[in-house]
Amino acid sequence: MSERGHIPESRQREKPRADLKWIGKSMKRVEDPRLLVGKGVYTDDVNLPEMAHAAVLRSPHAHARIVSIDVSKAAALPGVLCVMTGADAAAVCDPLPTWASPPVLQPAIAHERVRHVGEAVAAVAAEDRYIAEDACELIEVEYAPLPPVVDPEEALASTGDAVLHPDRGDTNIALERKLTFGPVEEDFAAADLVIERRFRWPRSGGQPLETVGAVASYDEGSGRFTIQCNTSMYNYCGWMIADTLRVAPHKLNIVPTLAGGSFGSKMFVHKVPIIAAALARAAGQPVKFMEDRIDNTTSCDNHASDRVYYAKLALKRDGTLLSLKTRIIDDYGAYFQFGVGQHGNALSQCVGPYRINSVEVDLAAVLTNKCQQGAYRGFGSEVANFVIERLVDAAADELGMDRIALRRQNFIQPDQFPYLIPTGNMYDSGNYQAVLDETLKLADVEHWRAKQAEARAEGRHIGIGIATCQERSVFSATEFWMWNLEPGVEWTSSPDGVSVKIDPTGKAFVTLHSPFWGNSPETVAAQVLAEQLTIDPADIEITYSDTDQGLNSTGPGGSRFTVMVTGAIVGAAGKIREKLLRIAAHLMEADVRDLALEDGAVHVKGVPDMKMSIAELADKAHYYRLSMPDDLDLTSGLDATYVYDHPVTTLPDADERHMGIFYPIMGHSCHIPVVEVDIETGQVHFLHYAAVHDCGTMVNPMTLEGHIRGGTVNGIGTALFEEFRYDEAGQLTTALWTDYLIPTIKESPADIVVGHVETPSPFTEYGVKGGGEGGRMGGPPAIAAAIEDALKPLGVTIDSLPLLPSRLRALIREAQAKQA
Amino acid sequence: MYPFTYHRPASLDDARARLAASEDGRPLAGGMSLIPTMRFRLSSCSDLVDLNAIDGLAGIERHEGGIRIGAMTRHAAVEASAEVREAIPALAALAGSIGDVQVRNRGTIGGSICFADPAADYPAGILGLGASVNTDRRSIAADDFFTGLYETALEDGELVVSVDFPVPERAGWAKFGNQASRFAVVAVMVSLAGGAVRLAVTGAKSHVFRVPEMEAALAADFSAEALEGIAVASEGLNEDLHADAAYRAHLVGVMAKRAVRAALAP
């Protein structure tokens, strides 16, 4: 085993092929018809008899002791069924699930202390939502304010009353660790040049139109909860919710509802279903709790990375990159749901597409009086992309080299894959030169350079940026715990399963064990099963399991879905195909080796008339047992389940020389935006935008392009507009979408020209890679670079986001003052 | 929202009577500002008197003195009006810059000026073009209409019926909008009529205001260059998440020049 670990053999069964019929086709989405006519059933569409409605009273303080709560007036309001304080909840619920070890204890409803504005202080169930809201206004809470902690760097030094969780010691540092991979000090000593920058990545988050919701009911007879909820990961670790509710895991059934958007949020929803379930048990009636927008923005799992980086890139004068050192302070808010999983994630691709020999990461995860962090498109890797790309741009500028040429020089070469980076993660395959060349072509850079020169002569500011970014997909479980200080969750499985059935008439049924999360799971499943069984996707019906029926399935987060469900369907379809062939062999009196499944029928090779359709065989399989081979294992019916394990993962090294392979299915992208900056106002307009992604074999180019374009607009939001801003008192000043600015069609490029390169993975079925997050991974550094390029005559440097007009104008003003 | 009684009278007289009879009644035009504030429980009323069923309050007429726009005329109608585009294209541009399509299809000129949001666009149009506001009782000159933050010269129960715009020789509209709401961070309407210049700024203070120094400079020389060096003091300007006072003051200068250029554009 080398310093960076070892690479297991590939377990790929289906090689990428040119003659695929359904995989690779831009088939229309199976999900769309019912969603577009308003017939999808979202959580808020669920209505049960006798169902009550919940509302939550939230903390107006960032940090305070709860001196007293008087709920008597609220409880007396006609129509109120139940009022639950933190103390009431603590009597019936344990703390919320967490991956951090040691944990940061998080209650579903704050008890004794509030730690951020918007934290739940009490919950009410009432006959309708209006009454529940009115009741919340009648609850009297006395607070004793504590010092609010809002600046992550100041949080490093917090003591005394400013400490959020005194039970963990007199500090707001939740975790601090330095990890070194490879000969960092030697590489820095050998460097001719070290680029040093401080970067500030702002707290932003996924903004699904639909907030988080749950409809919970409790059956006193069986002692069993049923929770309908727009969550993911329920078939992986839904039992953790049962633990919190203090019931045995089999006394909880989680039923997924369609998610009206996630962008990574709703990854593992815990507060909302637990509040709804606790109220339902207390009230003796089903309870619906649908967050309103402020509930969601102030207190859900939508907030993401909020980081300060002190970054150093060591390189040779000839442009050879050597080593990367980062000191990171990440503001996790008041709780620590996924631990520093977001930094495990970033370790998967922190050297970008470049040959960098060594890496040091010195991380402090701090707790502040803000909403907890959760998952958001990129899950921390997008920040690492921003950092490495900004450093490479700075290095090129410092060396007087072309930014594109420096990238090209340091790219990992196509013949070097599979490639282990210093942290131990593997890049399975890639062709970065091909992606760059294709993007340069689509972006027509020469044309825009000429336009830029013309514009500069007129005093206008056009800029062209480039980013060449990794887009990792398919995490394995280790990323959630590799940084933990103490053993906690130490899982190594992160599979996804499917159930497939062919009914007696030949129609196919697929049960997915992951939810609809706003992406295209049914379309992918239909295309892959159609390919596998040579049937028409229109003959396939797709449903979602609850936890009662569920197979071990991690869910779609981390751009996993397409790869994992493709693998699971290949596994299940293989079993069905084998059975079809055995039955056909028996009925047609042929040797199985002479049979082939083609166009929905089993043929005897070379004998055109000798064939039986899948429908005929399914009929036999279901109803004609006495015509089947007399084999105890060949049971009636045509069905199979398959749980597909992560295609390639290894354990972290016990001595932490590397973290093992944990996020290896490595896509790549190149983004080239062209912007014009209005230097009088600070406003940025897009003149052109080209993005080329390599997500391996494409299952559905149309839906992938949707991901790329949507993700890129997400990236525009992060680069230019979006920020959860807390003021000095810890008030969230951008809790509403009038202040939390989301790009619309007006702020987006007229078109995002999308191109593809397909470098198949040698490890996944058909060579598929995930592509759900890449747009947001490439957009921010590319846009920052374009703006910097536009403002080159003024010498403006971009190292923090978002570049709101007011901030960009301030940078321009400073630069103008310096020049004058 | 808190509970209220909803009325939908068919005549102005009936609307007035219902408002007069209510404890704390409010008229409802397009509802683009009032309804959201009620939904957030930031405002409430005992009675909501919907003016949408009253005939004769909407419409655009060209007459000798100028253009008359009915109080219940939607922004989209002003934006699309051939008469407005021909006579005062800057006013059509203003209407077309409000909110989004849905807001423009629903919101009304009367509702906008009566609500008197400090960042609304129409107040700059009224003041910058020297319009007069006709109510069920009187006509109010633009300079007298907007009196403060969400405040106007309207008396209790007084309803706006229409607005009269004189037709200027030139007028120009320039707006730096909030990205989400499209409300003005700073927007400027400038007009030139009979040698007199009016330049009105919205979004920058508690309510719309004119800038006499700029008007004087433009009266002498109606060009963007004439505004060079005329700064608006940042003291007293609005400060919010999207712009501090200094940035707003700067934007007033930038938008004023752009409005003049728009007015001079062929």
Is the pLDDT reported for residue A608 higher than 90? no
A64 CB-side CA count, 13 A: 21
Contact A681 B181 (CB under 8 A): no
- Strand-strand pairing, B196-202 and A461-464: unpaired
What is the per-residue pLDDT across A78-134, written as a single tens digit (0 to 9) for each?
Answer: 999 999 999 999 999 999 999 999 999 999 999 999 999 999 999 999 999 999 999
Contact A734 B250 (CB under 8 A): no
What is the per-residue pLDDT across A331-340, written as a single tens digit (0 to 9) for each?
Answer: 999 999 999 9
* Contacts B176 to A, Cβ<8 Å: 681, 683, 805
Give me the residues of A, 517-556, that contact B with CB < 8 A.
none
Search chain B and give the residue with CA nearest A678.
B254
pLDDT at A421 (0 to 100): 98
Is the pLDDT reported for residue A269 higher than 80? yes
* All structural domains of chain A: 32-40+495-644 (3.30.365.10), 428-475+663-820 (3.30.365.10)
Chain A closest-CA separation from residue B51 CA (Å):
27
pLDDT at A3 (0 to 100): 81
Instruction: Give every CB contact of residue A53 below 8 A, 6+ residues apart in sequence.
Output: A125, A126, A127, A128, A129, A131, A132, A287, A288, A289
Sheet holding A540-544, edge to edge: A540-544, A508-512, A496-502, A638-644
The position carrying tokens 């043929």 is A603
Nearest to B180 among A680, A737, A806 (CB): A737
| Test mutation, A681, A740, A746, chain B, max B CBs within 10 A | A681
% of chain B surpassing 90 pLDDT: 96
Alpha helices in A106-258 (DSSP H): 129-138, 152-155, 184-189, 234-237, 239-244
Nearest to A681 among B178, B244, B251 (CB): B251
DSSP notation for A465-505: --EEEEEEE---THHHHTT-SS---------EEEEEEE-TT
Q: Does A437 touch chain B (CB under 8 A)?
A: no
Selected residue with higher pLDDT from B8 and A484: B8
Q: Does A737 touch chain B (CB under 8 A)?
A: yes
pLDDT tier, A662 (very low <50, low <70, confident <90, very high otherwise): very high
- Strand-strand pairing, B60-63 and B132-135: unpaired
Q: For residues A114 and A60, what is the distance between their CA atoms, to the nearest angstrom?
A: 9
Instruction: Give every CB contact of residue A112 below 8 A, 6+ residues apart in sequence.
Output: A65, A66, A86, A87
* Contacts B241 to A, Cβ<8 Å: 725, 733-734, 739
Token pair recorded at residue A642? 């398959």
* Contacts A805 to B, Cβ<8 Å: 176
Task: Provide the β-strand partners of residue A80.
Answer: A126
| Best CA proximity match to A750, nearest among A662, A812, A675 | A675
pLDDT tier, A664 (very low <50, low <70, confident <90, very high otherwise): very high
B1-51 and B170-264 agree in CATH topology = no
What is the per-residue pLDDT across A324-374, written as a single tens digit (0 to 9) for each?
Answer: 999 999 999 999 999 999 999 999 999 999 999 999 999 999 999 999 999
Claim: this prediction has a pTM higher than 0.80: yes
% of chain A surpassing 90 pLDDT: 96
Chain A closest-CA separation from residue B54 CA (Å):
32
- 3-state DSSP helix/strand/coil % of chain B, to nearest 5: 35, 25, 40
CATH 3.30.43.10 is held by the domain B1-51:
yes
- Strand-strand pairing, B196-202 and B209-210: antiparallel
Contact B180 A742 (CB under 8 A): yes
Token pair recorded at residue A268? 């593992």
pLDDT at B180 (0 to 100): 83
pLDDT at A488 (0 to 100): 85
Chain A closest-CA separation from residue B250 CA (Å):
8
Is the pLDDT reported for residue B235 higher than 50? yes
pLDDT at B65 (0 to 100): 85
Phi, psi (deg, nearest 5) at residue A360: -125, 135
Nearest to B241 among A680, A733, A737 (CB): A733
What is the per-residue pLDDT across B133-152, written as a single tens digit (0 to 9) for each?
Answer: 999 999 999 999 999 999 99
* Stretch (H or E) spanning B11: none
Contact A809 B244 (CB under 8 A): no
Task: Provide the β-strand partners of residue A469.
Answer: A669
pLDDT at B69 (0 to 100): 98
Long-range pairs for A15-21: beta carbons < 8 A, 24 or more residues apart: A15/A766, A15/A767, A16/A696, A16/A697, A16/A758, A16/A760, A16/A766, A16/A767, A17/A766, A20/A531, A20/A766, A21/A530, A21/A531, A21/A534
What is the per-residue pLDDT across B22-34, written as a single tens digit (0 to 9) for each?
Answer: 999 999 999 999 9
Token pair recorded at residue A811? 């940078």
Search chain B and give the residue with CA nearest A809.
B247
* Contacts B248 to A, Cβ<8 Å: none
Contact B241 A734 (CB under 8 A): yes
Give me the residues of A, 655-684, that contact B with CB < 8 A.
680-681, 683
Chain B residues within 8 angstroms (CB to CB) of chain A = 176, 178-181, 241-244, 247, 250-251, 254
Q: Read off the pLDDT of each residue in A664-675 and give the average, rounded to a whole number.
A: 98
Q: Does A202 touch chain B (CB under 8 A)?
A: no
% of chain B surpassing 70 pLDDT: 100
| Best CA proximity match to B130, nearest among B190, B211, B172, B220 | B190
Search chain A and give the residue with CA nearest B178.
A738
Q: How many CB atoms lie within 10 A of CB A400?
A: 6
CA distances from A738 to A245, A721, A735, A741 (A): 37, 12, 8, 7
* Contacts A738 to B, Cβ<8 Å: 178, 180-181
CATH 3.10.20.30 is held by the domain B170-264:
no
Task: Provide the β-strand partners of residue A125.
Answer: A54, A82
Q: Read off the pLDDT of each residue in B121-139 and give the average, rounded to a whole number.
A: 98
Task: Provide the β-strand partners of residue A363.
Answer: A177, A328
A151 CB-side CA count, 13 A: 5
Interchain CB contacts (distance < 8 Å): A and B: 33
A206 CB-side CA count, 13 A: 31
pLDDT at A33 (0 to 100): 95
| Test mutation, B97, B183, B247, chain A, max A CBs within 10 A | B247
Nearest to B254 among A681, A743, A806 (CB): A681
Search chain B and give the residue with CA nearest A735.
B241
Contact B247 A806 (CB under 8 A): yes
The position carrying tokens 């069984």 is A533
Chain B closest-CA separation from residue A741 CA (Å):
6
Q: Read off the pLDDT of each residue in A213-234 and give the average, rounded to a whole number.
A: 97
Instruction: Give every CB contact of residue A699 below 8 A, 6+ residues apart in sequence.
Output: A23, A24, A524, A527, A528, A562, A566, A766, A768
Is the pLDDT reported for residue A2 higher than 80? no
pLDDT tier, A565 (very low <50, low <70, confident <90, very high otherwise): very high
Mean pLDDT of chain A: 97
pLDDT tier, B181 (very low <50, low <70, confident <90, very high otherwise): confident
Is the pLDDT reported for residue B56 higher than 90? yes
Contact B181 A725 (CB under 8 A): no
pLDDT at B258 (0 to 100): 98
CB A250, CB A509: distance < 8 Å: no
Chain A closest-CA separation from residue B242 CA (Å):
7
* Contacts A739 to B, Cβ<8 Å: 180, 241-242
Phi, psi (deg, nearest 5) at residue A647: -65, -30
Q: Read off the pLDDT of each residue in A384-412 and give the average, rounded to a whole number.
A: 98
A766 CB-side CA count, 13 A: 31
Search chain B and give the residue with CA nearest A720.
B179
Buried b (16+ CB within 10 A) or exposed e, A199-226: bebbbbbbbbebbbbbbbbbeeeeebbb
Alpha helices in A381-520 (DSSP H): 381-399, 403-410, 432-443, 445-457, 478-481
Phi, psi (deg, nearest 5) at residue A384: -60, -40
Token pair recorded at residue A14? 């289906």
Omega within 30 of 0 (cis) for the link into A608: no
Q: How many CB atoms lie within 10 A of CB A591?
A: 10
Contact A804 B242 (CB under 8 A): yes
Q: For residues B118 and B123, what is the distance between their CA atoms, to the nearest angstrom?
A: 8
How many residues are present in chain A?
820
Give me the residues of A, 451-470, that contact B with CB < 8 A.
none
Q: For residues A704 and A691, what is the distance between their CA atoms, to the nearest angstrom?
A: 12
| Best CA proximity match to A544, nearest among A509, A505, A503 | A509
pLDDT at A633 (0 to 100): 86
Is the pLDDT reported for residue A1 higher than 50? no
Based on its alpha-carbon atoms, the radius of gyration of chain B, rounded to whole angstroms, reads 18
Is the pLDDT reported for residue A75 higher than 50? yes
Search chain A and give the residue with CA nearest B252.
A681
DSSP notation for A87-101: HHHHHH-PPPP---S
Chain A closest-CA separation from residue B253 CA (Å):
10
Query: Domains of chain B: which residue ranges?
Result: 1-51, 170-264
